[in-house]
Amino acid sequence: MAGCLVTNPDGSEQRGCRRLIPNPRNTLGALFSRWRLSSTFNFNLSETPLPVEPVEVEAISGSFMFARREAIETIGGFDEGYFLHCEDLDLCKRMSLSGRKIFFIPDVQVVHYQGTCSQARPLRISWYKHCGMGRFYHKFYRRRYGLPLYLLVSAAIWIHFALGVPKNMLSGRFQTADICQKSS
């Protein structure tokens, strides 16, 4: 499977086009880094130098990815239990578990207008992101790491959601029209 350099309209590298697969250690580390208790964890590799040639990565963005049909079929296709977010991480994790590699191809570039359609409903989008991450952890880590750590990470996911509610409610309040309807 392969992904490319996904950029924002301003040309900057979009977060998530090359990243790590979340696990309890890096998830809790990323959460603590937001609280300034640690600065060593970041899922997104967009803050590291852009490679000059294709490199193997743990995960790529679902906004633009390539895979052989046979590879997708072998792992059972997309998990339809995800809605909007984390389905790409699930696909990358299952590809990796099946022994397949995931590559980031930096000389192929696309522009992704991330969040354009979701700007009018930031709280709903945040809800789906957190539901997706909860599903991902339940599916891949619940049995592997034991109940106490699973519960700690699950609690961290939902605390993160709750802490973002005021910001998401305020940002949605000031939207005057659904941007997606304007572009149709």
Segment among 25-39, 92-106, 161-175 with least mean pLDDT: 25-39
Q: Tell me which H or E stretch contains 173.
A: helix 147-173
Instruction: Give 75's contacts (C-beta < 8 A, 6+ positions apart).
Output: 91, 94, 95, 98
The pLDDT of residue 84:
79
Give the integer Cα–Cα distance in Å for 27 and 141: 12
**Per-domain residue ranges of the chain:** 2-177
CA 136 to chain CA centroid, Å, is: 11
- Which one, of 1, 131, 137, lies nearest residue 59 by Cα? 1
pLDDT higher than threshold 50 for residue 38 = no
Q: What is the pLDDT of residues 93-127, one digit of tens each?
A: 999 999 999 999 999 999 998 766 666 678 888 89
**pLDDT higher at 138 or 172:** 138
Residue 44 has pLDDT above 90, yes or no: no
pLDDT digits (tens, 9 = 90+) for 8-26: 999 999 988 999 999 988 8
Residue with tokens 């539901």: 131
